[in-house]
Amino acid sequence: MAAEPLPADVAALHYRIRQMEHQIEEYEDTLGAIRRGEIDAVVVSDSAGENRIYTLESADRPYRVLVEQMQEGAVTLREDGTVLYCNRRLAGMLGIAHERIVGQTLQQFLLPDHIADFDKLLNEAKRAAARSELTFLAASGAEIPVYVSLSVLHDDDLTLMCGVLTDLTEQKTHLAEVADANARLLNEIAERERAEDALRQAQKMEAIGQLTGGIAHDFNNMLQGITAGITLAHQRMIAGRTEKAAALLDAALNAANRAATLTQRLLGFGRRQALDPKLVVLDDLIGGMHGLIQQTVGPTVRLDLRLQDRSWPVRCDPNQLENALLNLVINARDALPAGGGVIGIATAHAALDPADTANWEGAAPGEYVRITVSDDGTGMPPDVIAHAFEPFFTTKPDGQGTGLGLSQIYGFVRQSHGMVKLDSVLGAGTSVHLYLPRAKAQLGDQDADEAPESGPAPVRTAGPVTVLLVEDEPTIRGLAAEALRELGYRIIEAVDGPAGLKALQQAVRPPAPARINLLVTDVGLPGGLNGRQLADAARSLAPHLPILLITGYGGDVITGQDLLGPEMAILSKPFTLEALARKVQGMIDHAKVK
Amino acid sequence: MAYRLRLVVAGSSLRAQRAIENLRRICDGRLRGRVDLEVIDIYQQPQLAQEYQVIAAPTLVKLLPLPVRRIIGDLSEEERVLRGLEIILLAPDDSDGS
């Protein structure tokens, strides 16, 4: 039979049959698979054409296992909180059998105080997922902190609440441990701060001990100087050798000046001292202090002064500079062996360029005058040098140094825009260099207030002013006279009332009256004429003579200015020489104005 | 990509895992580098069941090359899978890229 070509519709039919065979094969496969249970889910279209997926139990299992075994409690709730489903973890968390939870409201297992919060959360969850921390009560009575996350599950007509509950006990325990550790740490810090406070207090007490010990020692030395000078002077005066007595009294005065310097230092340490900078020529200042320095260091020490011939002027507080020099000299002396040695004091001009100051903290290039105080004593090891400028640091035996000297010098020099440098070699000696900036002004430029300070004490150019000093106590008279002479006054001394009156009469007697500008008299005088009577007599001789009465009796004997009369003043013992000087100057100035 | 395949599974059941494993082995074999495969969870994208005319899971759907073919089950018989998807007929000639 010959093969005829198939008409087109036959070919189409063949294709169609093949397609249908495939489809039937597919359906048979599907039916077979369903029969054999080789599938997990069947897709079914409902009357509205919506797909639903019917899951076989075996397919659900992993989710079931997931929900049952996960570490969080899981529940589904009705809108009122009734538990429809709860997983094993929640049952375990609460320690309550699973079947005793389902069908109850979840509220029943909450701490009563938290029920209202839960109801609120439930309401919020109907709008959007809501979360909160609530406390549940376990069967054991234990309170369990739980983080509750609620959301609404819409499944067709059924509205379910779905909750995930995380037990926070472990986390809280951990937090509590952290808090505990933190509290312990804070305790330790507080403990340590207490210990540090105690240590600081102890250090402070030690420092104060050093300070007071040092002061007591220094004062004792100075008192020794004063007492010895006065005693010797007294003996010589008794022996009639008065010309030697003056030098001894000078020594006593120097010791007293040093005591005053120490009190200045203490005041300076208490707060930053107000400096009174003036133009100072260092060579003149040091030259003027030579005697004082030699007395301070004692006869076994040789002073080697190497001064410039008229050094550049510097601007600083001359009193502070004197203090600084004395301090350095005392340090140098203490570094020398008992047998003595050499202390050098030198001045030099020093022009520092940037290369000189590059590695020198706080130093600025420029022109300086350098003062060097050096000794050939014990020197300092590096660890001592490192602390040398610290307040209260001292290497002197307990109670013998204040530990203030160098720190104060450092403070003063820095305040004066200068630098301090310390060179020391153990066993070979120490040099301390003070660099003070050269003053811009020349000596000729200064105004009247800026007279260059060139002596150890401020010298007042008082003109020819004469003071009659009547005092029976020779130490007081000598010291007072010395102090007033230092201020430039001419002093006539008298030992009792009659002697004073005699001096007054001589002064007013023509033809060459040696004018007396001020009478300073003790009130309690021997010789039948006391200070008050002397004052009256003086007024009759010179009606406008200013009179300063000195009394050891306080204010009771002569009370009130009205009883004193014009141009009269009173000064109570004990008084400082400065107070005396101020009073005397004040009265003379007042009289001059008149 | 010569083959666009979609495996429709229902969640992460053991059977779904087996189906994924089996299909991966087939694709890594003679179809390596020529398969565009997506695994679809019917729970997450039920609308695709209708689009692919899947009535049960797991089902492997071959979208390309036409005609569309489906094979149901865990795909454990490789020859049956390849035959069902009409892949075996194309495979020998595919190596030269025609």
A382-414 tens-digit pLDDT: 877 777 776 556 666 544 455 557 777 887 888
pLDDT at A373: 93
pLDDT at A482: 82
Shortest distance between the Cα of A36 and any Cα of chain B, in A, equals 10
CA separation for the pair A346, A306 (Å, rounded)? 4
- Considering only CB atoms, A63 lies closest to which of B11, B15, B58, namely B11
B2-15 tens-digit pLDDT: 788 888 888 767 78
Residue A205: pLDDT band (50, 70, 90) is low
For residue B70, the chain A residue with the least C-alpha distance is A26
Whether B2 has its CB under 8 Å from any CB of chain A: the answer is no
CA separation for the pair A82, A103 (Å, rounded)? 6
What's the order of all strands across the beta sheet hosting A419-425? A301-306, A341-352, A366-375, A429-437, A419-425
Contacts with A21 from chain B: Cβ below 8 Å: none
**Preceding peptide of B58 cis, ω within 30°:** yes
CA separation for the pair B67, A482 (Å, rounded)? 134
- Considering only CB atoms, B10 lies closest to which of A30, A38, A59, namely A59
R_g (Cα) of chain B, nearest Å: 13
Residue A147: pLDDT band (50, 70, 90) is very high
- Judged by CB atoms closer than 8 Å, whether chains meet at B73 and A40 is answered as no
pLDDT at B1: 62
Pairing relation of β-strands A547-551 and A568-572?
Answer: parallel
CA atoms within 13 A on the CB side of B20: 14
The amino acid at A483: A
Whether B54 has its CB under 8 Å from any CB of chain A: the answer is yes
Question: What is the average per-residue pLDDT within A197-202?
Answer: 73
Beta-bridge partners for A345: A305, A373
Q: Which two tokens stand for residue B61?
A: 């759907």
pLDDT at A283: 86
- Judged by CB atoms closer than 8 Å, whether chains meet at A39 and B57 is answered as yes
- Considering only CB atoms, B74 lies closest to which of A19, A38, A43, namely A38
pLDDT at A40: 82
Question: What is the average per-residue pLDDT within A263-279?
Answer: 59
pLDDT at B87: 67
**Residue A358 DSSP symbol:** T
- Considering only CB atoms, A41 lies closest to which of B57, B69, B73, namely B57
Pairing relation of β-strands A466-470 and A490-494?
Answer: parallel
Whether B76 has its CB under 8 Å from any CB of chain A: the answer is no
More confident position, B11 or A57: B11
DSSP labels for A301-329?
Answer: EEEEEE--SSPPEEEE-HHHHHHHHHHHH
CA separation for the pair A253, A482 (Å, rounded)? 8
**Residue A387 DSSP symbol:** H
pLDDT at A458: 37
pLDDT at A63: 76
pLDDT at A117: 92
More confident position, A219 or A404: A219
A416-453 tens-digit pLDDT: 888 888 888 888 888 999 999 988 765 554 433 343 43
Whether A24 has its CB under 8 Å from any CB of chain B: the answer is no
pLDDT at A461: 41
Question: What is the average per-residue pLDDT within A63-88?
Answer: 84
Contacts with A29 from chain B: Cβ below 8 Å: 71-73, 84
CA separation for the pair A447, A182 (Å, rounded)? 68
pLDDT at A210: 64
DSSP-derived 3-state class of residue A183:
helix
Whether A38 has its CB under 8 Å from any CB of chain B: the answer is yes
Question: What is the average per-residue pLDDT within A474-489?
Answer: 82
What interface predicted TM-score (ipTM) does this complex get? 0.72
Q: For the whole model, what pTM was predicted?
A: 0.34
Question: What is the average per-residue pLDDT within A7-26?
Answer: 84
Residue A115: pLDDT band (50, 70, 90) is very high
CA separation for the pair A534, A524 (Å, rounded)? 11
pLDDT at A211: 63
Question: What is the average per-residue pLDDT within A88-101?
Answer: 86
**Residue A2 DSSP symbol:** P
pLDDT at A454: 37
Residue A266: pLDDT band (50, 70, 90) is low
CA dihedral A54, A57, A62, A67 (to 10 degrees): 90
Whether A41 has its CB under 8 Å from any CB of chain B: the answer is yes
CA distances (Å), origin A544, targets A170, A502, A541, A550, A562? 100, 18, 9, 19, 16
A324-380 tens-digit pLDDT: 888 888 888 888 887 788 999 999 888 888 888 887 777 888 899 999 999 988 888
User: How far from the centroid of its chain's Cα atoms is residue A544's Cα?
Assistant: 56
A449-465 tens-digit pLDDT: 343 433 333 334 445 78
pLDDT at A554: 41
Residue A136: pLDDT band (50, 70, 90) is very high
DSSP labels for A205-227?
Answer: HHHHHHHHHHHHHHHHHHHHHHH
Whether A227 has its CB under 8 Å from any CB of chain B: the answer is no
- Considering only CB atoms, A43 lies closest to which of B12, B55, B71, namely B55
Q: Which two tokens stand for residue A53?
A: 């997926």
DSSP-derived 3-state class of residue A421:
strand
- Judged by CB atoms closer than 8 Å, whether chains meet at A34 and B56 is answered as yes
pLDDT at A567: 80
Is the pLDDT confidence value at A51 over 80?
A: no
Question: What is the average per-residue pLDDT within B49-67?
Answer: 84
Contacts with B54 from chain A: Cβ below 8 Å: 43
Contacts with B56 from chain A: Cβ below 8 Å: 30, 33-34, 39, 41-43
- Judged by CB atoms closer than 8 Å, whether chains meet at B74 and A43 is answered as no
Whether A34 has its CB under 8 Å from any CB of chain B: the answer is yes
CA separation for the pair A347, A337 (Å, rounded)? 25
CA separation for the pair A362, A367 (Å, rounded)? 15
Question: What is the average per-residue pLDDT within A93-110?
Answer: 86
CA separation for the pair A99, A110 (Å, rounded)? 17
Whole-number percent of chain A with pLDDT over 90: 13
Spell out where A455-537 has E strands.
Answer: 466-470, 490-494, 518-522
Whole-number percent of chain A with pLDDT over 70: 81
- Considering only CB atoms, A41 lies closest to which of B47, B56, B69, namely B56
For residue B86, the chain A residue with the least C-alpha distance is A22
CA distances (Å), origin A169, targets A94, A115, A128, A136, A140? 12, 19, 27, 11, 14
Is residue A462 classed exposed, middle or buried when 0-12, 13-18 and 19+ CB atoms within 10 A define those classes? middle
In whole numbers, what is the pLDDT of chain A averaged over residues?
79
Is the pLDDT confidence value at A87 over 60?
A: yes
pLDDT at A148: 94
Contacts with A58 from chain B: Cβ below 8 Å: 13-15
Question: What is the average per-residue pLDDT within A83-90?
Answer: 85
DSSP labels for B11-67?
Answer: TT-HHHHHHHHHHHHHHHTTTTT-EEEEEEETTT-THHHHHTT--EESEEEEEESSS
Measured in residues, chain B has a length of 98
